[in-house]
Amino acid sequence: MLRNHPILAPPTDDKRWKIVETVMRRNNFQPQALIESLHSVQQTFGFLDLAAMRWVAATLRVPLAKVYGVATFYHFFTLRPPGRHTCVVCLGTACYIKGSQRLLAAVAERYHIQEGQTTTDGELSLLTARCIGACGLAPTAVVDGQVLGQRTPTELTAAVGAVLEGRAAP
Ligand code: FES
């Protein structure tokens, strides 16, 4: 039976929150689902930020301090990186098969950073995710929250470049 409390609206209207919500729902919104839920955020968005932690905490009725404690204790959680912009490349199975490693390599080479790193000027963080729920668009990447599907490495680096220059991703 579902716990008797309303499902809180996710931090943004990004459809990826549905993936996380499904995990919490499957676990009946029980506090014991905390790590699995945070894992889902990490795998879907590439990192955990305060808004995500607040939402998971409120939805599972777990103190935010506990969520923060878990998020900082386990090494596989990445708190929101310092970059002003983010490029998250999906390395889930569908995207991997369609060559998402080449997307990752192209952005890494262009901006001289590795997965999980931020450029020295603090402008761009490069992250990975394990399925963002858009497998039909594989290979996918998410640049500043915008899902970009079926891009070549050159197209993705151009999109990242545009965002860094303050333009919309082409
Ligand atoms: S595997 Fe990349 S969107 Fe599903």
**pTM for this predicted structure:** 0.82
Annotated domain spans of the chain: 17-73, 85-164
CATH 1.10.10 fits 17-73, yes or no: yes
What confidence score (pLDDT) does residue 5 get? 59
For ligand 1, whether the C-beta of 132 sits within 6 Å is: yes
What confidence score (pLDDT) does residue 1 get? 47
Of 95, 128, 151, the residue with max ligand 1 atoms within 8 A of its CB, to mutate for a pocket test, comes to: 95
CATH fold of 85-164 reads Glutaredoxin (3.40.30)
**Structure tokens belonging to residue 39:** 């894992």
Low-confidence ranges of the chain (pLDDT < 50): 1
Report CA(3)–ligand 1 centroid distance (Å).
30
* Interval 91-131: pLDDT, tens: 999 999 999 999 999 999 999 999 989 999 999 999 999 99
